Amino acid sequence: MPRNKESIQRKVSTFFALLLAAAFVLTSCGGGPPKFSNPGPLSTLKATEPSNPTSTSATTNSPQAVEAPTSSQSSSRVAPTSPSTISTLPQIALLPPSGAGTANLAMYQSGGGLYSFRQFRSLESNNTGNNGYDDATLNPSTLQVVDLGPFYQGPTTVAVDLSISPAAISFAWPSDRGYSNLICDLPGGGSFNLDALCIRSQLVQIAAMAKANSYPLSQSQSESFTQLQSDIDPTLGSSVNQQQLNQAVDLSLDVANSIATNRIGGVEDSQFRYSVTIDTLDNLSSTLNAVRSTFPSRAMVRIVIDPGVPLSQYQSAIDLAHSMSISVMIELMDSQYMASYSYARYQSRIDQILSTLQHVDVWEVGNEVNGNWLGPQVGAKVAYAIDEAASLSSTPLYLTLYWQLGEDDASHSIFNWVNTNLTPTEISKLTSVGISMYPQEAPLGASFYRAMTTLHTVYFPNQSIYIGELGYGGSGVTGSWWWGSPSVSDSSKASTVTTYMGLLLSLPFSVSSGPFWWYFAEEYASSPQLIAALRNWYRQ
Write out pLDDT tens, residues 212-256: 999 999 999 999 999 999 999 856 555 899 999 999 999 999 999
Nearest Cα neighbor of 126 from 84, 195, 174, 192 is 174
pLDDT, tens digit, 9 for 90 and up, residues 335-359:
999 999 999 999 999 999 999 999 9
CB 505 within 8 A of CB 448: no
Q: CA-CA distance, 121 to 139, in Å (whole number)?
A: 23
Comparing C-alpha atoms, which of 293, 290, 317, 291 is closest to residue 303? 317
* Cis amide bond preceding 96, omega within 30: no
Lowest model confidence (mean pLDDT) among 177-181, 296-300, 452-456, 478-482:
478-482
pLDDT, residue 63, reads: 27
In the predicted model, is pLDDT for residue 405 greater than 80? Answer: yes
Query: Rounded to the nearest 5°, which phi and psi values hold at 408?
Result: -140, -170
More confident residue, 35 or 114: 114
**DSSP H or E segment with residue 504:** helix 490-504
Q: How far apart are CA 204 and CA 60, in angstroms?
A: 47
Terminal Cα distance for the chain, rounded: 30
Distance CA 4, CA 237 (A): 42
| Cβ(379)–Cβ(426) below 8 Å | no
Residue 513 pLDDT: 79
Q: Are 46 and 275 in contact (CB under 8 A)?
A: no
- pLDDT at position 234 is 59
| Residue 425: partners with Cβ closer than 8 Å, 6 or more residues away | none
CA distances from 225 to 184, 242, 308 (A): 17, 16, 55
- Report the pLDDT value the prediction gives residue 235, as an integer from 0 to 100: 60
Q: Predicted confidence band at 40 (pLDDT cuts at 50, 70, 90)? A: very low
Q: Is the dihedral of CA 109, 115, 119, 120 positive or negative?
A: positive
Instruction: Please name which of 420, 424, 455 lies closest in space to residue 23, comparing C-alpha atoms.
Output: 455
Domains and CATH numbers, the chain: 99-261 (no CATH), 273-536 (3.20.20.80)
Once rounded to an integer, what is the mean pLDDT over residues 17-30?
36
pLDDT at residue 4 is higher than 90: no
Task: Encode pLDDT of 103-113 as tens digits.
Answer: 999 999 998 89
Distance (Å, rounded) from C-alpha 70 to C-alpha 73?
A: 5
Calculate the average pLDDT of the chain: 85
pTM: 0.86
- Residues with Cβ within 8 Å of 134's Cβ and at least 6 positions away in sequence, in order, are 8, 124, 125, 170, 171, 172, 405, 406, 407, 442
- What is the rounded average pLDDT of the residues 54-81? 34
Write phi, then psi, for 369 (nearest 5 degrees): -65, -20
pLDDT in tens, 145-174: 999 999 999 999 999 999 999 999 999 999
Q: Is the pLDDT of residue 210 over 70?
A: yes
Q: Are 468 and 516 spatial neighbours (Cβ–Cβ below 8 Å)?
A: yes
What's residue 484's pLDDT?
83
How buried is residue 532: exposed, middle or buried, by Cβ count under 10 Å (0-12/13-18/19+)?
Answer: buried
Rounded to whole angstroms, the maximal C-alpha distance in the chain is 70
Q: Is 83 exposed, middle or buried (0-12, 13-18, 19+ CB in 10 A)?
A: exposed
Give residue 473's pLDDT band: very low, low, confident or very high (50, 70, 90).
confident
Percent of the chain at pLDDT > 70 equals 82
Report the relative pairing of strands 145-148 and 136-138 from DSSP bridges: antiparallel
3-state secondary structure at position 113: coil
